Each structure stands twice: as structure tokens, then as C-alpha cells.
């Protein structure tokens, strides 16, 4: 008997309600040595992810390492969408070894974790492999991560993928949560984030709206 298709999304697609987002070490000192992605693109993609999460009310953890003593403040592009949210500062390079972060993960209570931050090979590999080991599903937003070299970033992504991490991109993160333009309650916020941070895709939205009054969906 042939398999019957049905108009339902696959279980591996994320939704705003099924995951926790952890944004890790988007800080000045970490970005100075990042060479796998240029700083402008990194900041833009990090902003896209943060604003997407805020617009969909995704439970989000913001964590830094040695903020006051070494690494400096978190990018304002990442903190601005979450006014008043406390930053969980750590001494551990592996976020998953910090009790305050793990307490917050357990309070949120999601089995699916999405990660982005600096550097891929240290501060993303650590929590990704640790969460996988404890039975969580883990996604990494590859173009909102960076490392000291392209080699370091690429090998880190390969290592995580081999272990079971699912890679995605920043625009993919935004659009996967929207997924249907008939969802009018989030249409304006989704296209608003895309216009600001979606590069040429965002420009296309601006152009179509201005020239033709176009509306996706």
C-alpha cells in the first residue's frame, strides 16, 4: 500500500512553543578574534535571531562569560529585544556546566534546545554535546555563530552534526516559526524582522510592498 501524504508539518520542524533558545557570549572580546564571519554579518544575524525569538515569545536565555572582568558587554542587538532580562554570567566555557543556566533550562522545561553564539568550537560545541548526551534535541543556528577561523567553525559544525545536532540558519529560524503566511497574528512582526535584518530578502519585501502593495500569502 502506498504511503498517504497529509498536509501536516514534520516533527523536526521547530515551533515557537517547542524549544528554548540560548544565546551565548555575543560579546566584544569574543568577536575581536572571530574571523569565520565578518562582524557586520554576525551582528545582523544575531539580531535577526534575537528579534525573531522575542516576536514569537520564545523562552530565551542570554548568557555571558566573564562580562565584567574580560569579555565585555553583550551585543545590544541581542539584548535590546529583551528589555530587563538578566544576563546569566558564567566562569565556565561550557554553558551547560553552569548551574544558573541549567536551572533556567529546567524552569523552561523544553526538550528542544536552539543555540547560537561565540565561539562555535568551544562555547557552542560544549552545550550542544552536553545537551545531546542528556537526551535533548539540539539545533544550532550556524550563521549566527563564529570562530577564530573558518576551519575552526566548519570542523565544529561537522563534529556537532555527526553527534546529532541539526544545523539551521538565521532566516530559516524566523521563517520556520512563521511557516504559513495565513498566520496573520505574526505576519507583521515576521516581515518586520525580515525587513530590518533579512538582507536582500528584506529589501524584496520593502520593494514589493512599496511598488505594488504586495502581501505574502
What is the span of the domain harbouring residue 202?
Answer: 179-212
pLDDT at 217 (0 to 100):
60
Count: domains in the chain = 2
- Please give the model's pTM, rounded to 2 decimal places: 0.94
- The answer to whether residues 158 and 67 belong to one domain is yes
- Beta-sheet strand order (sheet of 88-90): 88-90, 60-65, 20-24, 112-117, 137-141, 166-168
pLDDT at 76 (0 to 100):
96
CA dihedral 16, 18, 23, 24 (to 10 degrees): -170
CA gap 53, 30 in Å, rounded: 22
User: Cα 123 from chain centroid?
Assistant: 14
pLDDT at 43 (0 to 100):
97
CB–CB of 182/208 below 8 Å?
A: no
- The answer to whether residues 118 and 191 belong to one domain is no
pLDDT tens-digit map of 40-86: 999 999 999 999 999 999 999 999 997 777 888 999 999 999 999 99
With a CB cutoff of 8 Å and minimum separation 6, the contacts of 129 are 160, 163
CA gap 34, 23 in Å, rounded: 16
pLDDT tens-digit map of 93-102: 999 999 999 9
Question: For residue 200, what pLDDT band results from cuts at 50, 70 and 90?
Answer: confident
- The answer to whether residues 140 and 44 belong to one domain is yes
- The answer to whether residues 197 and 153 belong to one domain is no
Whether 114 maps to a domain, the answer reads: yes
Whether 10 maps to a domain, the answer reads: no
Amino acid at each position: 500500500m502506498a504511503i498517504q501524504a497529509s498536509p501536516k508539518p514534520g516533527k523536526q520542524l521547530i515551533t515557537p512553543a517547542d524549544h528554548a533558545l540560548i544565546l551565548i557570549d555575543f560579546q566584544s572580546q569574543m568577536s575581536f578574534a572571530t574571523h569565520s564571519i565578518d562582524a557586520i554579518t554576525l551582528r545582523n544575524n544575531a539580531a535577526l535571531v534575537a528579534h525573531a525569538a522575542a516576536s514569537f515569545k520564545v523562552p530565551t536565555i542570554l548568557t555571558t562569560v566573564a562580562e565584567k572582568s574580560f569579555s565585555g558587554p553583550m551585543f545590544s542587538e541581542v539584548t535590546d529585544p529583551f528589555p530587563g532580562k538578566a544576563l546569566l554570567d558564567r566562569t565556565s566555557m561550557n554553558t551547560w556546566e553552569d548551574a544558573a543556566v541549567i536551572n533556567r533550562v529546567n524552569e523552561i522545561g523544553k526538550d528542544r534546545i536552539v543555540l547560537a553564539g561565540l565561539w562555535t568550537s568551544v562555547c557552542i560545541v560544549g552545550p550542544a554535546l552536553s545537551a545531546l548526551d542528556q537526551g535533548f534535541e539540539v539545533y544550532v543556528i550556524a550563521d549566527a555563530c563564529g570562530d577564530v577561523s573558518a576551519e575552526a567553525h566548519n570542523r565544529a559544525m561537522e563534529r556537532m552534526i555527526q553527534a546529532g545536532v541539526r544545523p539551521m540558519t538565521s532566516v530559516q529560524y524566523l521563517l520556520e516559526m512563521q511557516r504559513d503566511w495565513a498566520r496573520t497574528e505574526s505576519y507583521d512582526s515576521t516581515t518586520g524582522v525580515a525587513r530590518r535584518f533579512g538582507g536582500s530578502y528584506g529589501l524584496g519585501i520593502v520593494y514589493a510592498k512599496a511598488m505594488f502593495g504586495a502581501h505574502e500569502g
